[in-house]
Structure 1
Amino acid sequence: MTLDLQQRANRRMRRAVITLGVLVLVLVAALVVIALRGGDAPPKGAPAPQPSTTAPKPTATLPPDDGGYVAPAETVKLPDGATKSGDLPVKFPRTPDGAAAMAVASARNAWSLDPQRIRAGILAYASAQYRDQMAASADAGAKGNREFAGIPATGPVPAGATLNAWPIGVKYAAVDSDTVDVLVLLRVTHAAKTGTQPTTTLIVSPGRAVWEGGDWKGTATDPNQPLPDPVDIGTVGFNEDRWQAIQEGDRL
């Protein structure tokens, strides 16, 4: 994607996105489909409403590897949820890093080809005021994800088709004791079928978490907030933009 095309795609996303909150990225995924495809003529996605306020900033592929890995200057080990809803972690601590942990968990889950998986994430992470509307749109969200991954919107998922999100960086700041603004930096990798070369996209996904019912949930934030350009972990830009690398187990 040329720089001009990326800028125009970002502007289209900003005009299209609805004003909702942070955590369930169904619409974000569908908007990325539209943005990354730009003026091409593939099938159009069917965006599902979801609590994400500002469109993510994508770059079509990873930048060229110049062989010069730069270790992250800042790392963070986010807290675990105290329990689970199905297999999704919930009940995070009432701290800024607890809010960030919920945002990361939701972002990872939402990039899925399975509408039931998307619906489960909505029920686990969306604010009550959006939850029912979002859950009703999970099928449309899965359709948008399929189209993003180059998979036909209907019918069986082809053998070997994949769509996976790896959150690699996070920034977060407390607004007050019950509200935290979060940015999640993700690598989203997809392949349309067996034998297809996987493509990785870098995405910055913004949002806001509020303390609600004893846990962090996604709610509305400013749709006009400026977003940093997506950068890969292991680069100078990652450190210059003050991303914290997410440490999980023995890996960053």
Structure 2
Amino acid sequence: MRRAVITLGTLVLVLAAALVVIGVRGGGSDGKAAAPAPQPTATAGAQPTATLPPDDGGYVAPEQTVTLPTGAAKAGGLPVKFPRTPEGAAAMAVSSVRNAWALDPARIRAGILAYASTRYRDEMASAADMGAQGNREFAGIATTGPVPTGATLNAWPVGVKYTAVDSSTVDVLVLLRVTHAPKVGAEPTTTLIVSPGRAVWENGDWKGVPTDPNQPLPDPVDVGTPFFNEDRWMAIQEGDRL
């Protein structure tokens, strides 16, 4: 499996790490920078490719793990009503980022309606089709026409960092693997991504608001490597696996 490394960092909601991919920086194994996907409100040029430090090959267990709370209700089939704790804010961010990496605009729109702040929700929902097109472009799929048989795009959050600004605001970084293939028989590509976001307490739940497009972000590192621990990521514990 080929592995690429990119970092997303621009005007994104915590719910939309790839929903409308504004500025993608990095690239695949050929070293070429990935082109930015369309975004309705802002754009950012591609940045130099980030590279991982060499991996010695042995598995290194995470030093910090976290079991994030589940939502007390569902909206559009997605968990909502997370507890008013930093862990609850991180759980919302993880759920929204996972859902944003989709090829179906209806699924993307459902995530926006579930997780966006009311101030931005309608504008973002109107861009769900563009979000799906951007995701298709990222996955190497034509942006129009039926999705090819066997084409996939799946996100697996593996790490998280969160900092409470105050009791109503939490900054969150989500580290995830995104795996995609453009058609049946194509070799999947796994990309490591750091997705920034800010969660605010609004109407009894955590919602996503835009983040500073110029904030510095750590390079993506994979769980199971020493760099994961050096960068103080917490591995997300879900069910029987990290």
> In 2 relative to 1, CA 21–57 (structure 1 residues): closer, same or farther, beyond 3 Å?
farther
In structure 1, distance between residues paired with 2:13 and 2:185: 37
Q: Which runs of 5+ in 2 are unaligned?
A: none
1:207: how far off? 1.1
Answering whether residue 185 of structure 2 is matched by residue 192 of structure 1, we say no
Q: Which residue, out of 16, 33, 36, partners 2:27?
A: 36
Equivalent residue, structure 1, for 2:153? 163
Amino acid at match of 1:74: Q
In structure 2, distance between residues paired with 1:82 and 1:159: 36
Equivalent residue, structure 2, for 1:3? none
Answering whether residue 144 of structure 2 is matched by residue 154 of structure 1, we say yes
Answering whether residue 113 of structure 2 is matched by residue 144 of structure 1, we say no
Amino acid at match of 1:24: A
Question: Over residues 109-147 of structure 1, what are the superposed CA-to-partner deviations in whole Å (9 max), with x where a residue is unaligned?
Answer: 000000000000000001111000000000000000000
Q: Which residue, out of 215, 221, 227, partners 1:225?
A: 215
Q: How does 1:1-252 map to 2 (within 5 A)?
A: 17-18=10-11, 21-27=13-19, 29=21, 31-32=23-24, 36=27, 45-49=37-41, 66-252=56-242
Q: Any conservation in 1 of the 2:60–2:226 contact (CA below 8 Å)? A: yes
Q: Which runs of 5+ in 1 are unaligned?
A: 1-5
Q: Any conservation in 2 of the 1:118–1:138 contact (CA below 8 Å)? A: yes
> In 2 relative to 1, CA 65–124 (structure 1 residues): closer, same or farther, beyond 3 Å?
same
Matched residue pairs, number? Answer: 235
Q: Any conservation in 1 of the 2:33–2:49 contact (CA below 8 Å)? A: no
Q: Any conservation in 2 of the 1:175–1:181 contact (CA below 8 Å)? A: yes
Q: Any conservation in 2 of the 1:27–1:47 contact (CA below 8 Å)? A: no
Q: Any conservation in 1 of the 2:17–2:97 contact (CA below 8 Å)? A: yes
Amino acid at match of 1:236: P
Q: Any conservation in 2 of the 1:83–1:89 contact (CA below 8 Å)? A: yes
Q: Any conservation in 2 of the 1:185–1:204 contact (CA below 8 Å)? A: yes
RMSD: 3.0
> In 2 relative to 1, CA 88–57 (structure 1 residues): closer, same or farther, beyond 3 Å?
farther
> In 2 relative to 1, CA 85–180 (structure 1 residues): closer, same or farther, beyond 3 Å?
same
1:25: how far off? 2.5
| Other structure's SS at 2:23 match | helix
Q: Any conservation in 2 of the 1:59–1:201 contact (CA below 8 Å)? A: no
Q: Any conservation in 1 of the 2:80–2:114 contact (CA below 8 Å)? A: yes
Q: TM-score, normalised by structure 2?
A: 0.87
Which portions of structure 1, spanning 4 or more consecutive aligned residues, are displaced by more than 4 angstroms? 37-44, 55-60, 62-66
In structure 2, distance between residues paired with 1:229 and 1:112: 23
Q: TM-score, normalised by structure 1?
A: 0.83
| Other structure's SS at 1:154 match | coil
In structure 1, distance between residues paired with 2:219 and 2:35: 27
Q: Any conservation in 2 of the 1:161–1:193 contact (CA below 8 Å)? A: yes
Question: Over residues 2-45 of structure 1, what are the superposed CA-to-partner deviations in whole Å (9 max), with x where a residue is unaligned?
Answer: xxxx8xx97xx76xx33x5322234553533x753799699873
In structure 2, distance between residues paired with 1:41 and 1:96: 35
Amino acid at match of 1:90: V
Q: Any conservation in 2 of the 1:43–1:147 contact (CA below 8 Å)? A: no
> In 2 relative to 1, CA 59–189 (structure 1 residues): closer, same or farther, beyond 3 Å?
farther
Considering fraction of residues, name the structure with more strand. Answer: 2
Amino acid at match of 2:130: A
> In 2 relative to 1, CA 90–27 (structure 1 residues): closer, same or farther, beyond 3 Å?
closer
In structure 2, distance between residues paired with 1:42 and 1:227: 18
